Structure 1
Amino acid sequence: MTLTQNNLYIRFLLIALFAVWGRVGQAQENRPMMEYLVQERPVLAGLLTKAGLTPMLSGDAPITLFAPPESALQSINGESPERLRAILSSHIVRGIHLEQDLKEGKTLKSACSSTGLTVYRKKGQALINGVPIQRPNLQVRNGVVHGLGGLIRS
């Protein structure tokens, strides 16, 4: 290789490394939130549909979803659509809120209810109303999904 080829190769390598490094810790999806949920989180997608929350998660407005684990959702599977809407809407916040932006004591207003969500920090980990974020910052086309350790109780 000539000196010019070496320089080009090194530049390409550096660009590739910075691109990969910038995505560490932040998974990204190009799918809309609801499409991601249907394919990857079918129990949650079904309950959100039953609750009538699908249009909110399918639109262009930025949304943050604090997603309970599929196993925790089994406990609310038999609830009425109205009750599901009350429970699940407390997991949805308008706007994009990445985990690193969730500061101790910050209050977030749920999208469809008057319920406020409070952010706590414990040993560097963010908790929403005391429920830990276990899988943060999955960025989808219209927002972000944070995997929680359980259901938010309000």
Structure 2
Amino acid sequence: MHPILQQIADALLRLKGVGAFDPLAVPPQVLPHLFILELHPDSAAGSHLRVRLTGTALDRAFERNLRGHDLEEFLHGPYSADVLAGFHRCAAEHKPIWMRQIVSIRDKVPRFVEGVACFVAPNLIYGGLVFGEIARSDAPAGFEMQLL
């Protein structure tokens, strides 16, 4: 796991409730990588995941402010359904997760993207995301997910 994500995961695993996260308790270098998603139930089909907060590193990587948008609006690629399923699993089971995949955003060179997420009652997912090294041309495409 990327060292920044490890610091975020450590902080999130200590959470006891929505008011328990203190951004001053994490090193300043991790703040640009944080996000908060809100689950909006809409139908039997599931929930939309609305972005409530993103750090500057995420807005810069996606080349726009993501706050207020549904995650489903901008995720793309062959593993976007797996990523969404991972977030929904995190929320349904109330268990923190780690995910990683190779992505290409807006015709940029493919990179590893790695993230952690933790459900916070009643309807939030706190997490962190890191855009890593450039993927080697021989790197296997795929999606990985595991419980923290």
Tell me the TM-score normalised to structure 1 length. 0.31
**Bigger fraction of residues in strand:** 2
| Greater C-alpha radius of gyration | 1
